[in-house]
Structure formats: structure tokens, C-alpha cells
Structure 1
Amino acid sequence: MVRSPWSIWRDGKFRPLSLLDDPAVNDRGRNQTMKPPAKALVTLVKFAVSIGILVLLLRSQDLSSLKADLLAVNLNMLALAVLLLFAQTFILCHRWILILRAMSVPLRWLAGWRILIISTFFNQVLPAGGDAVRIWMLRRNGVQWSQTIGSIVADRFLALLALGLIVLAGMPFLLPRVHDNSLLFAIVTVLAAACLGAIALATLDRWPPRLIAAVPARIVQFAMLVRAPLLAAGGRAMLIVSAIVVHLITVATCYVLAIGLEAPLTALDAFVLVPLVILSSAVPISIGGWGVREGAMVAALGLAGIASDKALAISVLLGLGGLIVGLFGGLVWLIAPERTGFSPEEARAIAERTDAAPV
């Protein structure tokens, strides 16, 4: 029997997803929330990872050459790169709006974009602060707790799914470039795991009850949240297309920056290699991907014969472009009606509740 995508597995059977709004469930989750000292330690570790990788990269580079590259970048190409990153926020918003509509949340597009662009600002100034603020602003607009968390979780998962599809499409061009068997094994393993995960997600409601009961409840609940938009009757194709376009804009941005730095990066090289950088920087072990993104960019573009100083300059400019877009989000935040009711303590509580939620 096909189950509703808006159900979760709990106590041996599928139950309505609204259980995530049950105070008893949330109180139990709050008791399992990571304590403040532990959260502070995680943040410090992320800072250490970002700074450590950047220091190692800079020590191996000719800083005068890197500085010359950053100062000599074609300003027209740099402006175009920032414009592409800004345009990316509209595609990100469209993807999120489609997910919310699949969850029967009638959020207006302009309101959704305002929330999303503000979250980019908090992503720059607070570790993992963007999602907390996005959830807080949705809650201020009367959206249920289960739908706020579900939209964020589904948004992240669909981004990874689309990234996997792009990497898979580029594999025929990537394989001849990779001569390190360990790296090739890692890439193939990640893609195989993604394919198996997608198959398991699509067929989850057809698994035997005993098999589902053997899977941890949090994993089943997470799967039910992220599969719902994919099973929605309308907008599914547009949802997947928008998720892919978001990553292609990042690829195009790196290509434009390479042109501005006169780096010999072809469009095909960018399409094949930049998604690997995006995938690496998505691993939550650093602050905003800094450090990890730079190291991955140097390694990936090195497969195309790009000098390490040029690759590092491309990555730094990509990060600075994101900062510029984030600062624009800060300006939007200054005039946002929700700002007057914003409480850092409430946002922190939302972030902790998100960590404790059964997803």
C-alpha cells in the first residue's frame, strides 16, 4: 500500500507528519539538544579547520602572485560574477517556493525571496545562522513547525541530489583526467551511495514493515520529509530543473572569474570540475565552506592544468562575491518588518530546536 508522503514512521506504523508539531515530541527533542559548550566547541573546530586549511594553502603559494591576480582581475568579469550570484538567489527562492507549495504552504514569492536573501546575510555573519533565521521568519509568518523544518531539509537534500546528477553527467569527461586511483574510488563511491540512497528514498513506502522498523526512526522521518516534494503531483520537473540550474550558475560564475583572471579554464573543464568543489565545500566541517572550498578548488582545477595561484584566486573571489550578496541581504534585513521582533535568544532556541527535531 502506498503511504502518504506526509507521514512518518513512529511506534511501528506510519503516522501524520503533524506529530512533529506535538509539544510532547518537541519537549523530548529539546532534552536531547546539544548543550551550549558542545555547540561552542563545534564552532571553534570549524573555525580551526577553515583557518588551518587557508594557512596551509597560503604558505605553499607565492603571496605576491596571488595578490597580483586578485588586483588584476577584470572588473567587468568580476561584476558579472557577482550579478550571477545575485541572480542565483532568485532561482534558490523559486526552488524553495516550489517545495513549500508541495507542503501546502502558500508563501508569496516576494516574501520568500526576502527571507532567503536575509538568510544569506546571516550565513555570512553567524555559523549556521541562515537556516535558523529562515525558520524563525517562516514561523513569524504562521507556518507550522513541521513544514518549516521539512522545507529546509528537503531544500538541502534536493541540492545534493541535483549536484550528484551533474557530477554523474560529467563523469565521462572526468575519468580520463583522474590518475589517482584513491580519488577516483572516492568519487565513484560517493556517486554509488547517492544512487542507492535515491532508490531507497523512492521505494521507502514499499518496504516491508519489519525492514522499516529496523531502520532508526530519525532516518525514516528524514526520508519522509525530503521525498514529499519529489512525489508532489505538480511542479516536480521544474523543482529538479531549478535545483540543477542553481549549481550551473556557480559553475558559470567560476568560469567567468577564470576569464577575468586570464586562467585557461574551458567551459567543459568548469562543468566537470567545479561541481566537485561544490560537493567538497558542502561538507559541514568549516565556516561557510572557507578553506575546504579553496583546497578543493586548487586540487580540482589542477586536473585541468590551472596553476594553484590562479585556482586559489578564483575560489577567493567566489567567496568574496558571496559576501557581497550577503551584505545586500543585510541591507534588506535593516528594512525587514520582522527585525523589530528579532531576538537572538529566540533565534538560538530555534537553531537548537532544529538540531533536536526528529529529522
Structure 2
Amino acid sequence: MRRWPVWLRWGWTLAVLVAALLAFDSAQVLSRLGRLSASGLIAVLALALLQVVLSAGRWRYTARLLGLPLPWSEAVREYFLASFINQVMPGGVLGDANRALRHGRSTQQSLSALNAVLIERLAGQIVLAGLAILAWWWLMPGDVVARMMEGLQLPGWSLVLAAVMIGLLVACLWSRLAFAIRSFLSALHFALLRPRVLLVQLGVSLPIILCYVGVFLILARDLGMSMPVSLLIPGALALLLAMVLPITVAGWGVRESVAGILWGLMGYSPADGLALSVAYGLVFLVASAPGLVWLWPIRRAVA
């Protein structure tokens, strides 16, 4: 199957984003965004930069468990570079693939370097999913959940179809990538699933996710939103999960569409959710800008 060219995937992303803005009162979204303050932006940018440094530390810890050298300065540099690439290139994973490739070349252990990146990202996704489940279970009021379930009624056959598609995907990947998968599973046990290591990985990943959630909370207050924290936290975690889908550039469009729908289902203005989502995307785009410092010498070397 041919990949979509970059310009077409950017066009798709913009189309989804514009559709979300038009569907959920773009004028109100822009009005909300105009309320952002300098102090609020400084605070969220600090959190966004902090999570990059913490994530680099998680990657370094994982790599060292797999016997790969990774100095602090290199980990931070490569993570900023990866963050910038993820923000501007389709799919949201090309930056991670690049840092795995570059680390593999420098250590001459490409497969182990790839496993380190995969495991490091997986640790974060495990904590994100766990926090999302806990937040929706403990914080979300029962009447809000009931109202959302009424608006999201799915036929039973759709769940069966989803299970079959996932099964076929797993079978296809196993048949084509059996050796790499076995190597990954071995590395996964050593660098994540051992009890003591798992505690460290989850303990490092928790403050990273809290940085993301903190950005949402600060932005929501700066935008003048009245939604209580008991709804904001589950909502923010749901948006973070939605961004995992690699179908647009940096989650743009998907995140905004989910925000508009989710805020409406929770009984609040969809435009509020959309404004919060757009502000979040802009913050992390700006926070990834230090990656440009290291991208420039790479481009010159290639030229």
C-alpha cells in the first residue's frame, strides 16, 4: 500500500481541524483563545519543557537497562528533536523512529535501540491508560457517565468487528515481524516487566503524564472555563488517549473533534473543549521549538 505524501496528510489534518472548528462555533473558540494570559502561557510552557526532560530521563533509564550508553545531554537533545519532528510530520511517531535510528547507529545496536524507544513510550501509555481509567471511575459523576453512554450507544456487532480486526492485525504483524517481536518481548521483560524496574518506569512516567494534565488544567482556568476539576481531569486524559491515534499531524483535528464531542456530552459548551484543545496543541508546538536547534546541523550535514 502506498503511503500518502506529506502534503496530502497535512491537507487531511487541516480539513479535519477546519471541520471541527466549523461544527463547534469557531467564533466562540477564537474569543476564548483571546483570554490567554502571558503568565498562564509561561507556566504551561515550563511544564511542557519539563515533561520533555523527564521523558528523556525515562528513555535513558530504559536504554541503560538494555546495555546501551546514552548520556544525559544526548538524551535531552534527541528527545527535543524527536518532539519537534512529531509536531510537524504526519503520524506523530517519525520523531521517535528518528531517535531510535540515530541511537542505533551511534551504538551499532539498532534493534536494541528501537526496543528502548518502544518500551519507553509503552511505559508512558500504560500510565496514561491507567490514570484515565481511574479518573473516569473515581472522578466522573454517575449522571454524566450515564448521559454520555446514552449518546454513544454502539451496536454489539461493532465490538465484535473491532475484536476481529485487532486479531487479524496482530496475526499479520506476527507473521511478518516474528524475529523483531520476539526480541522486543525479551527486552520488554528485562526493561519494563520486572517488578522493581516496573515500579521505576511507572514512577518516572507518572510525573510526565501529570505535566500534560497540568497544562490542560492551567489553560482551562486561563481560558475562563467553569468546568470542575472532577470533569477536567478525565476529559484531559481522554484527549491525550485520542492523540495516540496516528492519523493526523500531532493529533490536530482528532483532538479537537473529540474535545468538542466530549464537552458536549458532559453538558458543557463544545467550543470550550475545542478552544482548550487548540491552546494545548499550540503550547506543545512552541515547546518543541528547541528541536530546531539540533535539526539545523543535521540538515546541513545531509546537504
Scaled by the length of structure 1, what TM-score is found?
Answer: 0.69
Q: Which residue of 2 aligns with 1:40?
A: 4
Q: Which residue of 2 aligns with 1:253?
A: 215
Deviations 1:235-277 (A, max 9, x none): 4322112222222211110110011111013333222221111
Q: Which residue of 1 aligns with 2:140?
A: 174
Partner residue of 1:119 out of 82, 104, 114? 82
Structure 1 residue 270 corresponds to structure 2 residue 219: no
TM-aligned CA deviation for residue 234 of structure 1: 5.4
Structure 1 residue 321 corresponds to structure 2 residue 289: no
Instruction: Structure 2: give runs of 5+ residues left out of the alignment.
Output: 164-173
- Structure 1 residues 290-299 or 177-186, which shifts more? 177-186
Paired amino acid for 2:286: I
Instruction: Structure 1: give runs of 5+ residues left out of the alignment.
Output: 1-33, 194-214, 345-359
Partner residue of 1:289 out of 251, 259, 274? 251
Paired amino acid for 2:204: S
Structure 1 residue 157 corresponds to structure 2 residue 122: yes
The structure-2 alpha-carbon separation of the partners of 1:219 and 1:235, relative to structure 1 and needing over 3 Å to count, comes to closer
The structure-2 alpha-carbon separation of the partners of 1:151 and 1:75, relative to structure 1 and needing over 3 Å to count, comes to same
Q: In structure 1, how many angstroms separate the alpha carbons of the residues matched to 2:247 and 2:53?
A: 27
Query: 1:94, 1:109 within 8 Å by CA — same for their partners in 2?
Result: yes
TM-aligned CA deviation for residue 175 of structure 1: 6.5
The structure-2 alpha-carbon separation of the partners of 1:263 and 1:93, relative to structure 1 and needing over 3 Å to count, comes to same
Paired amino acid for 2:252: W
5 Å matches for 1:1-359? 38-40=2-4, 43=6, 46-47=9-10, 49-127=12-90, 128-170=93-135, 171-174=137-140, 176=142, 177-178=144-145, 179-181=147-149, 183=152, 216=175, 217=178, 219-232=181-194, 235-334=197-296, 341=301, 343=302
Q: In structure 2, how many angstroms separate the alpha carbons of the residues matched to 1:226 and 1:90?
A: 23
Q: Between the two proteins, what is the percent identity of the paired residues?
A: 23
Deviations 1:284-329 (A, max 9, x none): 1111111011112223333444322221111111111111112122
Q: In structure 1, how many angstroms separate the alpha carbons of the residues matched to 2:112 and 2:201?
A: 17
The structure-2 alpha-carbon separation of the partners of 1:305 and 1:81, relative to structure 1 and needing over 3 Å to count, comes to farther
Q: Which residue of 2 aligns with 1:25?
A: none
The structure-2 alpha-carbon separation of the partners of 1:184 and 1:78, relative to structure 1 and needing over 3 Å to count, comes to farther
Q: In structure 1, how many angstroms separate the alpha carbons of the residues matched to 2:229 and 2:206?
A: 16
TM-aligned CA deviation for residue 278 of structure 1: 0.8
What secondary structure sits across from 1:330 in the alignment?
Answer: helix
Q: Which has the larger radius of gyration?
A: 1
Paired amino acid for 1:181: M
Paired amino acid for 1:95: R
Q: How many residues of Structure 1 are paired with residues of Structure 2 in the alignment? A: 280
CA RMSD of aligned residues (A): 2.9
Q: In structure 1, how many angstroms separate the alpha carbons of the residues matched to 2:262 and 2:54?
A: 26
Query: 1:163, 1:279 within 8 Å by CA — same for their partners in 2?
Result: yes
Query: 1:139, 1:145 within 8 Å by CA — same for their partners in 2?
Result: yes
Query: 1:277, 1:300 within 8 Å by CA — same for their partners in 2?
Result: no
Query: 1:293, 1:315 within 8 Å by CA — same for their partners in 2?
Result: yes
Paired amino acid for 1:85: A
- Structure 1 residues 260-269 or 93-102, which shifts more? 260-269
What secondary structure sits across from 1:283 in the alignment?
Answer: coil
The structure-2 alpha-carbon separation of the partners of 1:231 and 1:58, relative to structure 1 and needing over 3 Å to count, comes to closer
Paired amino acid for 1:142: T
Query: 2:66, 2:187 within 8 Å by CA — same for their partners in 1?
Result: no
Q: In structure 1, how many angstroms separate the alpha carbons of the residues matched to 2:154 and 2:192?
A: 29
